[in-house]
Structures are given as structure tokens and as C-alpha cells.
Amino acid sequence: MHGDSHYFRMDKPFLDAQGRRLEHFTRVETFDDNQGNGTNDVQWIKVSVNPRSREVFSYQPPIVPNNRVAVPAP
């Protein structure tokens, strides 16, 4: 889990030596404060653990109402 580009995203980006995707590795990128962009996009990620699930971890991006960035209508 890391924060870099200020967006929430999940992917399975890593490949083994034979070029196969590593099934049990998930990258999670978190929200971040993007003051340089004039937005306050500080949110949080809820991580749940279920050892009986094939994926084990699940992720939800709840939004903090006071930190919502309003998008103007076109």
C-alpha cells in the first residue's frame, strides 16, 4: 500500500520470471492531499481481512463528506 498520485486504485502489476501475473500480490494506492492542485482529497481506505476468502484482503474507499471536491457542471 502506498500513496503517490493522489488517487485510489488497485491492481495486480507484478509478473514472475516467466511473465505470469503474481495472483496473490495486490498493489493499493491511496488518496492523498493534493494541495498543488488546489484540492483537499484526503480520504481513507478500509481494509478487511477474511482468511477464508481466496483474496483474503478486501478494500473499500469511503469518502469523507467534508473533503469532497465539488465538480462544476459543464
CA distance 51 to 2: 23
- For residue 49, what pLDDT is reported? 95
Per residue of the chain (74 residues), give pLDDT as tens.
Answer: 777 666 788 888 788 899 998 887 888 888 776 666 666 667 888 999 999 998 888 999 888 887 776 677 67
Residues contacting 71, CB < 8 A, separation 6+: none
- For residue 51, what pLDDT is reported? 95
Domain ranges of the chain: 1-64
Residue 30 pairs in a beta bridge with 3
CA distance 27 to 45: 13
The letter for the amino acid at 58 is S
